[in-house]
Chains A and B, each alone.
Chain A
């Protein structure tokens, strides 16, 4: 065996080991490390002192209440106690039977502001509200587990960098010589980008970088796919990635202020609808789906950006959720989005929105009946869509037996499965596959392309990265400050999970082939930007000690704030 061949095999094994370590390190850091709640204030009842660990808390007798008050006369969901960005606490009476009094004054659903030391009375039971001051909060913070002490984020990122260098080396062997400078430059810029991002976080004192590392890992695989299939477009890819990361930072910064975020829901929702309207009217049909808009040589998919907007609009703060119980405006918004996508012919994305709608409406209402109703309704709509659009019916017809029609309806899936299997566990080497020459290999069949070139293990790591992000979103949701962040993080991840399922299982004939993108990896700038922007929602829910730039640290004391205002 020649030197080159042995180097290639060694580099493949090193890349797999690096991928696995990156996954294990992120998994341990994100899912295994201690994740204590933040403590914002206390509620002293006669018997106990209850820590208040969220910005939004339900007081009541229910087992699922955040502050459980198992006292006679207290309703299951009695009151909501919430804290604003500015540190002002407000208590709302959520249509309780026993009523809520603050310092002897009965309050209603509009709520009443609380001062530290105020006496709250729920259905005749007195308790004292006690805010934390700066020094107390600092002491509490000091007791929480720091991110990155045990599992260094810089080491994980370094591993990713080495992975990228090996990947680049593999491409150097297989790429055409004239493409090599482009490929090398774009990988170099990607490495610079991730380290700049990391250092920026260090400068502002943030130590959680796992979400970004996983996103960069997936983005790297996307670069590899682009380098194999469309090396000439790599400069576009790196520019788009820089834009995506900047928008991610911008979105995260934006999310720090809950008030601002909540207020902007309606304008963002309207913008999304306008984008879809423009799309419905002006777009050109590309293979059945008219989901592209062209601007001076650059095409973009409005539906991708609408995904981000959808999460914005769908999430909600707890007090709002309990004061206005209905979901009607959200249902209407969702219905318009799904119908618009159906009109465009982008049924895959319509399905992604629909499942995300189910997750959001279930999180908001807790009503399984609503979910069943929605599924039944959508089922009927789906049957109609299938009967109206013949090419969708055809995809359903070939689903499960693509091998019986491998020169026609099963063309892409059979190629994808064949190429994926030919890679085995270790792959044929970056750029050394044949699937890249098949139409839509770098978007719809990207899982197969990664299997073929980098092997099944790395392809599974690619899925695992998204799964880790999803599990982390769920874990963070429990410690989130506001239900807005919790819902937004969960909604983002369900969107990405559905997208991943349709992409991967569609190309492998486990689901009908819908032609949606794999998050971060598939070619397509709009999709990449949307995925990065959605990572900001995960960062918004990440309340580990000094972890996330999207979470504002060291709140100023309410008193200072008030003095300032005065």
Chain B
């Protein structure tokens, strides 16, 4: 008997495994219980809370019985990509990424009622509404950030959705946030990146001159320019948005150098904006040869960038090379600052972008009263259409705003995106 019963230890072994497993669960519960519970357990919580914009406009609110959005239909629709919804239809939006922070949880009592949790946003709902109506049904994106504080004042993606209307028939692609969740062919706005690399890598760049006959032939392949710019300096080449000059600059930088700048500026990686993931971009990393590198250096080839990545770039340039990470939420925390590019490079780019506006974009006429630095982009899609881009910033201590305006298949950068930017910025400096 003893011989047999001594072997009953095998049952104790199983019992010990059960105990170890239970301890493992309890530890994991302590660690992750909140995340677990609040992912699905809304039904047993009667929490109440709201999302309000920077001036107190309620964009979304909820209680145990009711989910509400902004009263005004236009405000609701224009701000939809900021708020998201209670049903996670977009997969992005603050209601999704901040849901857990709007609910109560404690390890002792599990989910608890969180009363009147208010999430204050940096966003200006009125600015969003203005930008959305300026987009006027076209597909596109508008981003405006205060580059000194990181406050994201505007994030609009068109077309959008009315979350309060159950019968709303959204246009195709309305659930995609074009600011964060998609990448597009950048066209000439990419020349800012090539220019930044050139400033740091090509000695005496300002003493060089670039000659343009309207096209150039590289290894038997023509690179066509938008015009015939003849002899021009580096600065003039950027304001002319000269393809010939920038293709040559890209080739003299080399593919590896240019790619390393694209990577260093974060264009290739996804980022996170208050818990909302953003789209990665693309730049050819496999060897492509000089002609294709020429195209890649002017934002064509297989280049793709996410508007949000471009916003980070222009906002760092505006802020003398220091990037203040944008935030939708005003949580009272210090913004994250980091060195993004050299101060000298940033200041050089500021000057060149201001030269663009003053000398080429009819600044006084198109952008009255704005101390604007900018770059246009008209990204050829190969089917006769083109994306219109306009990005830059105001060198204005009272209104230190950086922006990206993008109209999908919108046409010319300056005429389409530029005038949209003017509408948004004029509203912004008067109302924020």
Contact = CB atoms under 8 A, between A and B. Distances in A.
Interface of A: 54, 56-58, 62, 64-66, 77, 318, 321, 355, 358-359, 362-364, 366, 403, 406, 414-415, 417-428, 432-434, 452, 455-456, 460, 463, 466-467, 470-471, 473-474, 477-478, 480, 483, 486-487, 490, 493-494, 497-498, 500-501, 504-505, 508, 510-511
B25 interface: yes
A490 B12 CA distance: 9
Question: Counting chain A CB atoms within 10 Å of each CB, which of B18, B36, B110 scores highest?
Answer: B110
Nearest to A475: B8
A293 to B, nearest CB: 30
B44 A422 contact: yes
B204 interface: no
B381 interface: no
B108 interface: yes
Contacts of B29: 420-421, 456
A58 B11 contact: no
B33 A421 contact: yes
Contact of B21 (A58, A363, A434, A504): A504
Contacts of B21: 501, 504-505, 510-511
A366 B7 contact: yes
22 contacts: A58-B2, A58-B3, A359-B10, A363-B8, A363-B10, A366-B7, A403-B39, A406-B39, A417-B36, A421-B29, A421-B37, A422-B38, A422-B110, A423-B110, A426-B108, A428-B110, A434-B41, A463-B22, A493-B11, A494-B11, A505-B21, A510-B24
Interface in B1-34: 1-12, 14-15, 17-19, 21-22, 24-26, 28-29, 32-34
Interface in B223-245: none
B365 interface: no
Given A54-B1, A487-B4, A422 B37 contact: yes
What are the 3 A-B residue pairs with the smallest beta carbon separation, nearest first?
A424-B110, A422-B41, A421-B37
Contact of A500 (B1, B18, B44, B109): B18
Given A421-B110, A497-B14, A497-B18, A66 B2 contact: yes
B288 interface: no
Nearest to B44: A428
A427 B2 CA distance: 45
Given A422-B37, A424-B106, A474 B44 contact: no
Contact of B3 (A64, A403, A420): A64
Contacts of A421: 29, 32-34, 36-37, 41, 110
Given A418-B40, A420-B36, A467 B18 contact: yes
Given A424-B109, A500-B18, A508-B25, A474 B41 contact: no
A427 B224 CA distance: 71
B111 interface: yes
B64 interface: no
Nearest to B17: A501
Contacts of B5: 477-478, 480, 483, 486
Main secondary structure of the interface of B (DSSP, over half): helix
Contact of B44 (A432, A493, A504): A432
Given A54-B1, A56-B1, A510-B24, A473 B11 contact: yes
B134 interface: no
A506 to B, nearest CB: 11
Contacts of A432: 44
Contacts of A58: 1-3
B11 A424 contact: no
Question: Counting chain A CB atoms within 10 Å of each CB, which of B5, B6, B9, B19 scores highest?
Answer: B5
Contacts of B36: 414, 417-418, 420-422
Contacts of A56: 1
A494 B1 contact: no
B221 interface: no
Question: Counting chain A CB atoms within 10 Å of each CB, which of B12, B17, B24 scores highest?
Answer: B12
A290 to B, nearest CB: 28
Contacts of A423: 110
B40 to A, nearest CB: 4
Contacts of B45: 422
Given A474-B12, A508-B25, 8 more contacts: A58-B3, A318-B1, A426-B110, A467-B19, A471-B12, A490-B10, A493-B11, A498-B14
Nearest to A56: B1
B44 A497 contact: no
Contacts of A455: 110
Interface in B105-126: 105-111
B398 interface: no
B7 A66 contact: no
Contacts of A415: 40
B1 A483 contact: yes
A53 to B, nearest CB: 8
Contacts of A473: 8, 11
Interface in B32-71: 32-34, 36-41, 43-45
A518 B105 CA distance: 28
A401 to B, nearest CB: 13
Nearest to A481: B1
B18 A463 contact: yes
Given A420-B36, A422-B37, A434-B43, A64 B2 contact: yes
Interface in B174-220: none
B40 A419 contact: yes
A58 B6 CA distance: 13
Given A420-B36, A433-B44, A456-B29, A57 B8 contact: no
A41 B31 CA distance: 58
A425 B28 CA distance: 14
A196 to B, nearest CB: 31
Given A483-B4, A508-B25, A425 B11 contact: no
Contacts of A62: 3
A54 B38 CA distance: 57
A466 B14 CA distance: 12
Contact of A66 (B1, B28, B108): B1
Question: Counting chain B CB atoms within 10 Å of each CB, which of A417, A432, A460 scores highest?
Answer: A417
Contacts of B17: 501
A470 B15 contact: yes
A362 B390 CA distance: 77
A13 B11 CA distance: 33
A359 B17 CA distance: 14
Contact of A363 (B4, B12, B40): B4
A487 B11 CA distance: 10
Interface in B357-401: none
A406 B35 CA distance: 13
A399 to B, nearest CB: 14
B10 A358 contact: yes
A62 B2 CA distance: 10
B53 to A, nearest CB: 31
A431 to B, nearest CB: 12
A474 B8 contact: yes
Given A505-B21, A510-B21, A494 B10 contact: yes
A90 to B, nearest CB: 15
B7 A362 contact: yes
B7 A363 contact: yes
Contacts of A477: 4-5, 8
A470 B37 contact: no
B8 A486 contact: yes
Nearest to A479: B5
Given A422-B110, A434-B43, A362 B15 contact: no
A359 B11 contact: yes
A470 B39 CA distance: 36
Contacts of A486: 1, 4-5, 8
Nearest to A469: B15
Contact of B8 (A77, A417, A460, A490): A490
Contacts of A467: 15, 18-19
Contacts of B25: 504-505, 508, 510
